[in-house]
Amino acid sequence: MIRGLRADTLTSALALGIASYITYQGLDLEVGTTSNPGSGFILFWTGLMMAALSGTVFVQSLLPSADRATIGACFANIRWGKVLYVLALLVAYTFVLATLGFVVATTILLLILFKTVEPQSWTVSVIGAVLTTGCAWLVFVHWLGTQLPVGSLFEAG
């Protein structure tokens, strides 16, 4: 690592590169217009917004008055055990999603996360898991018309 490199400088430069790639891919898929959007419309505008935001952070990180936090300082207080725990839960979630279905698997995942990562009461955990799963289901299935896994345990024979 470069000694004394500011965390915001590196991360915003990386984000700017990713945003540029996303914008390019959106252009490649044809942007279209607001009244007749092409397949790259959302990609293009998302990439452009990301580029603007990350470019702003990049420029601010180069100013003399910028925060002097280094990259190492960003990782100093991370609780790696919890990061690995959540990652393991997400991997397990991907394996049970097809069997249990989106609603059941997501509710169980969120319940476990609410009870173990930053422990909440049972009431808060259950209500939070059910409401969050319900809102996600509404957005993806009802409003966006996306198909989510029902689960092989619940499919009609």
- Please state, in angstroms and rounded to a whole number, the distance separating the CA atoms of residues 114 and 116: 6
- Mean pLDDT, all residues of the chain: 87
Residues 19 and 62 in one domain: yes
Residues 11 and 68 in one domain: yes
Residue 153 lies in a domain: no
Among residues 74, 93, 114, the one where a domain terminates is 74
State how many domains the chain has.
Answer: 2
Residue 156 lies in a domain: no
Among residues 58, 74, 90, the one where a domain terminates is 74
pLDDT of residue 14: 93
pLDDT of residue 21: 95
Residues 70 and 97 in one domain: no
Among residues 57, 74, 91, the one where a domain terminates is 74
Q: The domain containing residue 23 runs over which residues?
A: 7-74
List the structure tokens of 20: 């540029």
Residues 67 and 44 in one domain: yes
Residues 87 and 133 in one domain: yes
| 78 within 8 A of 55, measured Cβ to Cβ | no
Phi, psi at residue 46, to the nearest 5°? -65, -45
Question: pLDDT (tens digit, 9 = 90+) per residue, 54-107?
Answer: 999 888 888 877 666 665 666 677 888 999 999 999 999 999 999 999 999 999
Residues 61 and 12 in one domain: yes
